[in-house]
Amino acid sequence: MVWTEKHRPRSLNEIIGNEEAKLELVRWLRNWEEGKSDFPGILLVGPPGIGKTTAVHALANDFSYHVVELNASEYRTAEKIYEKLGSLGRSYTLERYFTGRERRIIVFFDEIDGIDPKEDRGGLDAVIEIAGKRDFPVVAAANVPDPQKHKKLFELFKVVEFRQLTPKHIIILLKRIVEREGLKIDYEIIKKIAERARGDARLAINMLQAASLGIPVESISQSLENLPLDELLRRLSSSISYYEIKQLIDANSSLWEDVIYTYFDIIARSPVLKFDAKIQLLDALSKIDIYLGRMNKERQFFYLRYLSHLIAWLIYNANRSGAVYDGRIPEYRLYKFVFNRDAREEFTELSEALGRSIHESRRKFTLYTLPTFCKLVKRKYSKLCEWVKKVYGW
């Protein structure tokens, strides 16, 4: 399990730093409950990885609220928002849910800067309207809100600023994790990480986890661009921030194919994903695959923006539903490492020929068709299928 999740604070007092901001959150919620707040909602603003999302969940936890979280990937339009909030009513009747007799809820619009008021129809207005009704507390969070674009929100909501953590804060945080994990990590390494993380707790924790696996701190790349595939996958899969995932995706478009093939594998294999979630995710994935193919073939790069959103959405939702990347090399690449040279050549030749016969690239053939085929025919004695079993574990 990734440490950013494993060690995510559950209560406000476990969140390091930003003491004033935390107090403001609590004060506002209390006032709101008594109907005394001047603000219909609260807007948390600050760079990524410093505990904004965590703080909202911790606040809810401390005061026994249930969080209904809507992320930028879901609330781009007013319809989507009302649809999501409306669907809650199916399991609880709406009034009971909203009047707080059953369970009180906080509505949380995370990464609200992902909404473009011009392009995304009515999304922001809906957030403001919902807060204005004061049926329940509304919290929004943003990394880099645009004061012009998000003007209304700034005017109406109480703005609470979250600041970057200091290296001292990060050292405290890292030491706590080292202790909980029962590890021995050199203080010098912790100090180095704290400096390099530049106030970003998420990055610091990811670096610490990498360091615990023996990866030298110097080699942990900080830039988003041109990441090696395994590093990109590690970062993508350890993030539950749509904003961060989208940034990583945008900065590494040359690896999209590899990423979605790996995600196909992660999703298809996942023992925890519910059947419905699997279907939904694989369906999205197949759309992405079609558009990606079309884009590459027709060199139609206007698909880029649309695709990057779809891919980020897919990964964000897969991660949130509990899909886990186990660090394996994508399957279609694996055969390069597993077989000895002769076997590999034979395998390549065979799968290429077979793929050709059904008009598929070798890669697609070895990734999708072959394992399915082998599963269907169950020919245990076939050499090919033996290989496949070894590689795919099927």
Ligand X SMILES: Nc1ncnc2c1ncn2[C@@H]1O[C@H](COP(=O)(O)OP(=O)(O)O)[C@@H](O)[C@H]1O
| Binding positions for ligand X, rule: CB under 6 A | 4, 7-9, 15-17, 48-54, 165, 173, 201-202, 205, 241
Q: Which does 205 bind (CB under 5 to 8 A by kind): Mg ion, ligand X, none?
A: ligand X
Q: Minimal distance in Å, beta carbon 53 to Mg ion?
A: 3
Surface-to-core class of residue 358, CB atoms within 10 Å of its CB (0-12 exposed, 13-18 middle, 19+ buried):
exposed
Q: Which does 252 bind (CB under 5 to 8 A by kind): Mg ion, ligand X, none?
A: none
For the record, the structure tokens of 325 come out as 């990347």
Q: Minimal distance in Å, beta carbon 102 to Mg ion?
A: 27
The dihedral over CA atoms of 119, 120, 124, 125, expressed in degrees to the nearest 10, equals 90
Residue 245 or 367: the one with the smaller Cβ distance to ligand X is 245
Residue 37 or 54: the one with the smaller Cβ distance to ligand X is 54
Q: Which does 54 bind (CB under 5 to 8 A by kind): Mg ion, ligand X, none?
A: ligand X
Q: Minimal distance in Å, beta carbon 127 to ligand X?
A: 17
- Residue closest to Mg ion when measured from CB atoms: 53
How far apart (Å, rounded) are the C-alpha atoms in residues 394 and 389? 5
Angle between helix 229-237 and 242-251 (nearest 10): 160
Q: Minimal distance in Å, beta carbon 346 to Mg ion?
A: 49
Q: Which does 206 bind (CB under 5 to 8 A by kind): Mg ion, ligand X, none?
A: none
How far apart (Å, rounded) are the C-alpha atoms in residues 178 and 186? 10
- Name the site residues for Mg ion (rule: CB under 5 A): 52-53, 241
Residue 73 or 241: the one with the smaller Cβ distance to Mg ion is 241
How far apart (Å, rounded) are the C-alpha atoms in residues 333 and 329? 7
Residue 8 or 80: the one with the smaller Cβ distance to ligand X is 8
Q: Minimal distance in Å, beta carbon 162 to ligand X?
A: 6
By three-state DSSP, how is residue 144 classified?
Answer: coil
How far apart (Å, rounded) are the C-alpha atoms in residues 219 and 49? 20
Residue 242 or 365: the one with the smaller Cβ distance to ligand X is 242
Q: Minimal distance in Å, beta carbon 200 to Mg ion?
A: 12
Q: Which does 114 bind (CB under 5 to 8 A by kind): Mg ion, ligand X, none?
A: none
DSSP lists the bridge partners of residue 142 as: 45
> How many CB atoms are closer than 10 A to CB 231?
16
Residue 209 or 351: the one with the smaller Cβ distance to ligand X is 209
Q: Which does 202 bind (CB under 5 to 8 A by kind): ligand X, Mg ion, none?
A: ligand X
Residue 4 or 241: the one with the smaller Cβ distance to Mg ion is 241
- Residue closest to ligand X when measured from CB atoms: 51
Q: Minimal distance in Å, beta carbon 375 to ligand X?
A: 38
Task: Please answer whether residues 104 and 65 qualify as being in contact, where contact means their C-beta atoms are separated by less than 8 angstroms.
Answer: yes
Q: Minimal distance in Å, beta carbon 58 to Mg ion?
A: 13
Residue 106 or 267: the one with the smaller Cβ distance to Mg ion is 106
b/e burial code for range 317-326 (CB count within 10 A of at least 16 → b):
bbbebebbbe
Helix (H) or strand (E) holding 195, with range, is: helix 187-196
**How many CA atoms, within 13 angstroms, populate the side-chain half-sphere of residue 67?**
20
Q: What is the DSSP letter of 45?
A: E
